[in-house]
Structure 1
Amino acid sequence: MSAIVVLAVTYVLSQFFRSFLAVLAPVLTTDLGVGEAALATASGVWFIAFALMQFPVGWSLDRYGPRRTTSLLLLAAVAGALLFALAEGPAAIIAAMALIGIGCSAVLMAAFYLLARQFPPQRFAMFASWIVASGLSGGVLGSAPLALATEAFGWRVVMAGLAGVTLVAALAVAALVRDPPAASAPQGSGSLFTLLKMRQLWPLMAIAFVAYAPAANLRGLWAGPFLADVHGYDIEAIGRATLVMAIALILGTIIYGPLDVLFNTRKRVPFVGVTVTGLCLALLAATSGGSATIAVVLMTAVTFFGAGYALIMAHARAMVPAHLIGRGVTLMNFFSIGGAGVIQFLSGTVFATAAGRTSPESAYAVLFGFYALLLAAGLTAYSFSRDMRTR
């Protein structure tokens, strides 16, 4: 259990790094001339790099275990944070975010791997939700506290300090995590393609691709520019708003955790959660230029109801054989994080196109409507998935 605790604490860094650009956006624009499109690219690169790493991470977890896989990859995040601290333009920021994404790619999956190997399936969603919730404190640190630290010390000093913290985390994982014995595998059944051929996973891949993106993208990037451009928020006000969103994401994750067992269903709880998230996005699109308070409330609701990631993972995990757990959880995480990255890229194009033709308020309305439509498409696919009882 101590290994899972160490990984859960380290996961705080992963959550911080995927969301901190929303707060730093104004100062990066002022100091380095990094605009909204470049920020969207940088944020998207983090997700894409993280997602593409899920394939080698899954193989490495099954082959070498979580200790070496996670500790070695974290060194890439150390290098990325240092590069970010030294950046002189958008290209360096984008490259730094890619390195950080690579470095963070194994942390949560290593914890999930240990959970799946050491605990019964009916406990997976609850424990996974608690791990995610504890890690989401990184999103809290990446909001108002980051804004205060940036004001006090400057963003370069803050990022250099984070490189040191990440190095300590890598050393802690190497020292304290222990690998479980390898699972026995049936002859000739250990390939990633075995999972890709499982038709019952296809609808889950579709919903995973879109479900996490709105909460991740709004909290990680778009909340800052939206509140600054449309509602005149400064960095401290953005920090407070994103802090509320981060807390909502934590609470939503904790509350979702036991619901699949409580209602004896793998499917219905995440289905309802994604539906409500889509409705909140549609309302945000309709009211984006109105009250700032309503906008913050709706964005907070998106992060709260969009926190069902662990339940979708648990739904998929219940279908994956034990000897493919590493590749199974990382495959689903590839679609989840990869979807957030691809959609982040697309969102930058959608916003830039709309902004060139209309007002900022209308451009953001188009952006939020884009996310709502994606969730509707994902829900359509997910409706064909097979539900599974939890008891």
Structure 2
Amino acid sequence: MWVWGIGVAVYFVAVTYRTSLGVAGLDATHRFDINASALSTFSILQLLVYAGMQIPVGLLVDRWGTKRILLLGVVLFTAGQFGFALSGSYAMALASRALLGCGDAMTFIAVLRLGTRWFPARRGPMIAQVAALMGMAGNLVTTLVLARVLDSFGWTPTFAGSAAGGLVILLLVIFFLRDHPEGHEPPPVSHSGSGYVRRQITDAWREPGTRLGMWVHFTSQFPGMVFLLLWGMPFLVEAQGIDRGTAGELLTLVVVSNMLCGLVYGQVIARHHAARTPLVLGTVLATATAWAAAIFWPGDHTPMGMLVVLCVVLGACGPASMIGFDFSRPANPPERQGTASGIVNMGGFTASMTTLLAVGVLLDLTHDDYSIAFATVFVLQALGLTQIVRLRGKAAKRERERVVASRVEAVHVPA
């Protein structure tokens, strides 16, 4: 348990670094003298690197194991955070966020793989949700602590001080993390041959459960991530006229809601496997409804009560996206879990990256009209929902076939 806890701690620190720009967006515009499009480029580049690294990282996790990947990830995201702290130019800051995104990309898939090695399969949904919950705790640190430290001490001390946490976690990984329990080494799998990479990706993608998982992640995650990662604070302060302290509390509410929903969703899915699709569809529809009400509310400002509802609903986006891994996990054998998880994890971050860019461009084109810019969310939700509806039947049929095959195999295994 404590070994898995070290892996989760790595993810906790990575999320803290990833979301640190969410409370520093307005400071960044002044520090680097940039507009909304240039500001969104920070998060877009970070997520572009993150999404682009998912399949390579998944392959490397399957091939090298979790410890090596987590070590490399910690080194990269810590260096990126230090670089961001010392950045005096927009170009250097961009390079630092790209480096941070590269290291961040190596954490979650490795932690999921670590969970499958240290816990029984039946606990998979709950373990994944708890890992995500601990990541959101990192986001909570960002909104509660980092924002206040930034106001008190300024840019460089805040980001450099937070980067020191990466050095501590690096030592824990080096000395205490292990890929699997002693005596439970996985069976050897051949990773050689020129066709290994192509075979891993093709076999994972061929499974409807992998593709369904990717689209679930795509459709569910991005509204909450876009709000927390960058555009929530400017929307609340500039469009709604709320002071930064209150806006920070609303962002914190998103994080708290995420953590509570993660616990509930994990328990529900562990006990009622058929609840996966209804939970996803319900979350997406609730998100679309709350988002529309908040951005199209008549009058100059949306009432505080509606903003609170929006933040509570956005908190469910992360836990709903985790259900994507519960579709891909039973569809792939252990030696392909990293690759399949990488494909799934690309979904939400691709949607987030697209939306971050679109919102930034539309804000500049419409002179900061958040109603138009934020309506981008509905386009991507519609695309994702059509794919979920198209694939869910195929994935369910394939999953039933696998269950029947495993039972038949168990019956014919000699005592």
Match of 1:272 in 2: 282
The TM-score, its normalising length taken from structure 1, stands at 0.91
Distance 2:175 2:126 in 1: 27
Q: Is the 8 A contact 1:81 1:163 kept in 2?
A: yes
Shift of residue 342 of structure 1?
A: 2.8
**CA deviation map 1:271-330 (0-9, x unaligned):** 222221122222223228433414531431342231312211111111111110111112
With over 3 angstroms needed to count, the CA separation of the structure-2 counterparts of 1:298 and 1:89, relative to structure 1, is farther
3-state SS of 1:147 partner: helix
Instruction: Give yes or no for the alignment of 1:208 onto 2:217.
Output: yes
Distance 2:293 2:379 in 1: 12
Alignment of 1:54-93 (within 5 A): 54-93=54-93
Distance 2:212 2:344 in 1: 11
3-state SS of 1:212 partner: helix
Match of 1:299 in 2: 310
Instruction: Give yes or no for the alignment of 1:238 onto 2:247.
Output: yes
Q: Is the 8 A contact 1:72 1:170 kept in 2?
A: no
Q: Is the 8 A contact 2:213 2:326 kept in 1?
A: no
Match of 2:259 in 1: 250
Which of 311, 330, 338 aligns to 1:318? It is: 330
Q: Is the 8 A contact 1:204 1:316 kept in 2?
A: yes
Alignment of 1:86-101 (within 5 A): 86-101=86-101
Match of 2:48 in 1: 48
Distance 1:65 1:327 in 2: 12
**CA deviation map 1:142-163 (0-9, x unaligned):** 1132121112211210111122
Greater mean alpha carbon deviation, residues 367-376 or residues 148-157 = 367-376
Match of 2:410 in 1: none
Shift of residue 72 of structure 1?
A: 1.7
Shift of residue 345 of structure 1?
A: 2.0
Which of 378, 382, 386 aligns to 1:376? It is: 382
Shift of residue 132 of structure 1?
A: 0.9
Distance 2:361 2:186 in 1: 45
Runs of 5+ unmatched residues, structure 2: 404-415
The TM-score, its normalising length taken from structure 2, stands at 0.86
Distance 2:8 2:389 in 1: 32
User: Which amino acid is the alignment partner of residue 385 of structure 2?
Assistant: L
Aligned pairs, number: 385
Greater mean alpha carbon deviation, residues 183-192 or residues 121-130 = 183-192
Q: Is the 8 A contact 1:45 1:94 kept in 2?
A: yes
Distance 1:276 1:250 in 2: 18
With over 3 angstroms needed to count, the CA separation of the structure-2 counterparts of 1:233 and 1:33, relative to structure 1, is farther
Runs of 5+ unmatched residues, structure 1: none
**CA deviation map 1:60-89 (0-9, x unaligned):** 211111111111221111221121111123
Q: Is the 8 A contact 1:285 1:367 kept in 2?
A: no
Match of 2:412 in 1: none
3-state SS of 1:291 partner: coil
With over 3 angstroms needed to count, the CA separation of the structure-2 counterparts of 1:21 and 1:182, relative to structure 1, is same
User: Which amino acid is the alignment partner of residue 209 of structure 1?
Assistant: F
With over 3 angstroms needed to count, the CA separation of the structure-2 counterparts of 1:382 and 1:26, relative to structure 1, is same
User: Which amino acid is the alignment partner of residue 222 of structure 1?
Assistant: W
**CA deviation map 1:204-227 (0-9, x unaligned):** 322322321110010111111111
Which of 155, 178, 194 aligns to 2:203? It is: 194
3-state SS of 2:375 partner: helix
Instruction: Give yes or no for the alignment of 1:150 onto 2:157.
Output: no
**CA deviation map 1:162-193 (0-9, x unaligned):** 22211221221122111233444489875212
Match of 1:37 in 2: 37
Instruction: Give yes or no for the alignment of 1:345 onto 2:354.
Output: no
CA RMSD of aligned residues (A): 2.3
User: Which amino acid is the alignment partner of residue 372 of structure 1?
Assistant: F
Q: Is the 8 A contact 1:183 1:322 kept in 2?
A: no
Greater mean alpha carbon deviation, residues 196-205 or residues 210-219 = 196-205
Shift of residue 336 of structure 1?
A: 2.5
Alignment of 1:281-296 (within 5 A): 281-287=291-297, 289-296=300-307
**CA deviation map 1:23-53 (0-9, x unaligned):** 1112222232133212211011111111212
Q: Percent identity?
A: 23
User: Which amino acid is the alignment partner of residue 116 of structure 1?
Assistant: T
